[in-house]
Amino acid sequence: MVNNEKEILRTTDIDKKSRLVKRLVNSGISYLEKWEKVPFFSRKKYDGAKEICVIMVNDHQMEKAMEILYEVNNGESLPAADRNKKEGHTLSDDDFFDEEDHP
């Protein structure tokens, strides 16, 4: 059995999850949504949430899915790679994830 799914979002924000899922579906990207229970003593980290939503996509669709996640987080298109090079900006996890969303 091969497991090619990679986590792209871990959040308690249902609106963000819904926007991302809608964009993934509209773009033809299959995804896996799972809910994990947050242990009692870890809930402070997630503002008291009892569950957290984890969205995963296939490795082969990761690039497009990350572009969509960037757009959902920032409300704009992913900067072009050549524009990043000219400006000296390289993309990092911080460009894609909120503090609570890091996988």
In tens, the pLDDT along 9-50 reads: 998 889 999 999 999 999 999 999 999 999 998 888 888 899
The three state secondary structure string of the chain is: CCCCEEEEEEECCHHHHHHHHHHHHHCCCCEEEEEEECCHHHHHHHCCCCEEEEEEEEHHHHHHHHHHHHHHHHCCCCCCHHHHHHHCCCCCHHHCCCHHHCC
In tens, the pLDDT along 88-97 reads: 444 455 544 5
In tens, the pLDDT along 61-73 reads: 999 999 999 988 8
Domain residue limits, the chain: 1-73
Given CATH 3.30.70, say whether it is the number of domain 1-73: yes
